[in-house]
Amino acid sequence: MKNYIQIDEWNIIENNFNPHHHKISESIFSLGNGRFGQRANFEEAYSGESLLGNYVAGIYYPDKTRVGWWKNGYPEYFAKVLNATNWIGVHVNINGEELDLANAEITEFSRVLHMKEGFLERSFIAKLKNGVQVKVKAQRFLSIADDEIGAIRYAITCLNQDANLIIHTPLDGDIANQDANYDEKFWVEIAKEYADDELYLTLETKKTAFQVCTASKVQFAKEGVLQHPQLAPIQREKYISSEVQFSLNKEEELVVYKYVAVVSSMNHPILELTSSAKNAIQRSCEKGFEKLLIEQEMAWAAKWKENDIVIEGDAAAQQGIRFNIFQLNQTYTGEDERLNIGPKGFTGEKYGGSTYWDTEAYCLPFYLATADEKVAKNLLIYRYKHLEKAIENAQKLGFKNGAALYPMVTMNGEECHNEWEITFEEIHRNGAIAFAIYNYIRYTDDTQYLADYGLEVLLGITRFWAQRVNWSEDKKQYVMLGVTGPNEYENNINNNFYTSYLATWCLEYTSEAIDFVKQNYSERFEQITAKTNFNAAEELAKWAHIRENMYFPKDEKLGIYLQQDGYLDKEQILVSQLAAEDRPLNQKWSWDRILRSCFIKQADVLQGLYLFEDRFDIDTLRRNFDFYEPRTVHESSLSPCVHAIIAAKLGDEKRAYDFYLRTSRLDLDDYNNDTEDGCHTTSMAGTWMAVVEGFGGMRVRDGLLNFHPFIPEKWKAFSFKIKFRGSLLNVKVHRQGIHIQNLSSRKVNVKVFDVVYEIEGQTQKEILLEKAA
């Protein structure tokens, strides 16, 4: 755990430069706008350790799988979201020496991510080896008002002497992915052009043939006066730049404005890429940096107005939740149903930037409550459009009759994860997608979605579960063998409680969905029946038999569900007994030692109890929580938020708060010693869940929003906004009770501490704790 980030409610602040923290900061201070994004690399050259990162949404490469022992069913490739053209460069040579903070004496340094306004600012004073003392102030942002545009303002002043400057402002496409399996570069050049002081570089991905055109134009101002210097083009393969020279007097400021457009064949015809980039450059130059920044601030103000969470009295907790919300809004806008949310967003390459089950389990609740309904719906339609690929994935593993196994990792619906214990065994991901359909309909009451899209997906998933279990003559029950649960520190286990319970629920929910669609959308039901060759009598009967006879491992003496068969055969050691030098286990222990231990990477049994809490009494929840939490090392970013929510439900204020703080500051404080690889973007939605579902106690039951809140001791109050079925509510929890303001025009009924309250449009309701009790 590191604590070099300064506490501030609205800003992420790094004072002083430590090269050992640099890659972590590159992740934390990343920028994005839903279309493209970048790590917080320096504009000027930097020869120290760094992870270069520029990413374009939806653009990927199928990197050939690399394994030591090939097994039937392995995917042929791992999809990589590609490191794309580096456009931020403002390389400065001063009196013959390159400005490079790795080789300079830094006397002042500050980096600030202005989350409220949506821009990154960095300033420093450094002394070069040639004696020149230079001051730089750099600002940049990726516009969410116009998502094809990025802009940089780079101001440089020589403090102690006159200086001659040579400035290069490149577009560098000669880029590699650090995680390339065979050290291959994934881009080929299509065209580059220098015209009217504008640079254009168009590259194409190998195999997938996506094209991206990056364009830039630079302007210069000396002491506020626009300059018109002669620019000289520099070109080589996959690289184009301009060179310009300036003479600066001591303490004279030169400002470099760099306007950039990034357009792709995802959104424009290939033959129109250059013209589209030119239009975007013209738009940006006509407005100028200051006006573009004002538009950015206004666009971010609109976002914060809808989904800010305010925590009074705890600046560290406030900073944490706003950082998480900021990154989520940078990563996914929901405007394009072809896109999804990678575990690292636009902050790093790890995990390939592809889609995991994290989206359905963690991100969907955030977008359901904070964005337009279509945003969450598009996340589900993304999976519907991949249904045929999911059926193909199942067929590769020997499943039949339209059974669908959604991939653990994907860009286009094909499985592209190449670790056998994940690819073949971590099949609970299928259930997460089914639960997301249920969760979406429960929240929105959009039953039309069930008929139009959802039922087909549910049928495929349920057919998979029905074939994946087998009858045990010994137990006289159905069992599920050879799986990996959410706890990836166990592989190839039998009867993982979470997977089996989720599968059984899927059988039940799909049966109910079939009946609902048949009764309410009969014509559509007949179409689905014909399309899927659904045999209602036979399949429903089989599913019912499995549900009624499913085996779940349990220890009656302890009164807990067992994570899997034989879990109690392991040596039962608590995390509190581990030496500090053993943590994190995945970086200190052999895999053999981890697999033989009782330690749990993330919520497993508790993940199931969280999803289906209404099916278990409070004592069952408490016994399982008190048993499993002390054995959980939380070395997955997805773990603390679930534990925070359950602890809150149990009234365990200390553990609920501790887990919330850990999930909200996971990257800011580098809890798991891996933030340098990128932020844990999908788990950030879990931070929102920890506040709203945990401390706010929000649930949807019987078509009503339910609240059962409490406040951590360190907080004076907290508030959040919720969109629900056309209404927008501001919910504030304070020491005396809960204040709900209906910001919409329509009436809404809510339940607080099990009492129903009617709140008319544009009115508010104050509910005191004594009255609620």
Check if 488 is active-site.
yes
Token pair for residue 580? 């500090």
Q: Angle at CA 39, nearest 5°, toward 37 and 41? A: 130
**Residue type present at position 641:** C
CB 378 within 8 A of CB 337: yes
Please give the helix or strand (H or E) that residue 440 lies within, else none: helix 428-444
Contact at 8 Å (CB) between 641 and 690?
Answer: yes
Exposed (0-12), middle (13-18) or buried (19+): which is 48, by Cβ within 10 Å?
Answer: middle
3-state SS assignment for residue 417: coil
The answer to whether 129 touches 103, Cβ cutoff 8 Å, is yes
Residue owning tokens 């980039």: 277
- List b or e across 445-461, with b for residues whose CB sees 16 or more CB atoms inside 10 angstroms: ebeebbbbbbbbbbbbb
Q: Which residues of 149-159 are buried (b: 16+ CB within 10 A; e: fewer)?
A: bbbbbbbbbbe
Residue 424 backbone dihedrals phi, psi, to 5 degrees: -95, -25
CA distance 768 to 756: 14
Q: Which two tokens stand for residue 506?
A: 């899927």
CA distance 575 to 664: 21
* C-beta of residue 159 within 8 angstroms of C-beta of residue 178: no
Length of the chain equals 773
The β-bridge partners of 93 are 98, 166
- Residue that is written with structure tokens 């929003």 in the block: 705
**Local structure of 729: helix, strand or coil:** strand
Alpha carbon distance 464, 499 (integer Å): 13
In angstroms, the Cα distances linking 390 to 6, 357, 413, 535 are: 45, 14, 6, 20
Q: Are 692 and 286 in contact (CB under 8 A)?
A: no
Half-sphere exposure of 282 (CA within 13 A, CB side): 8
Distance between CA atoms of 313 and 718, rounded to whole angstroms? 9
**CA dist list (Å): 321 to 50, 260, 418, 424:** 27, 30, 34, 35
From the list 720, 729, 700, the residue with the least C-alpha distance to 324 is 720
Rounded CA gap, 290 and 690, in Å? 37
Question: Is the Cβ–Cβ distance between 83 and 53 less than 8 Å?
Answer: yes
In the set 26, 204, 456, 488, the catalytic residue is 488
According to DSSP, residue 650 is labeled T
Do residues 48 and 696 lie in contact, with contact meaning Cβ atoms separated by under 8 Å? no
Do the strands 748-752 and 704-707 form a parallel or antiparallel pair, or are they unpaired?
A: parallel
Cα 216 to Cα 194: distance, rounded to the nearest angstrom: 10
- Distance CA(667)–CA(660), nearest Å, equals 13
Q: Angle 169-180-485 (CA atoms, 0-180°, nearest 5)?
A: 125
The residue ranges of DSSP E strands in 460-574, in sequence order, are: 470-472, 477-479, 554-555, 560-561
**Active site residues per annotation:** 488
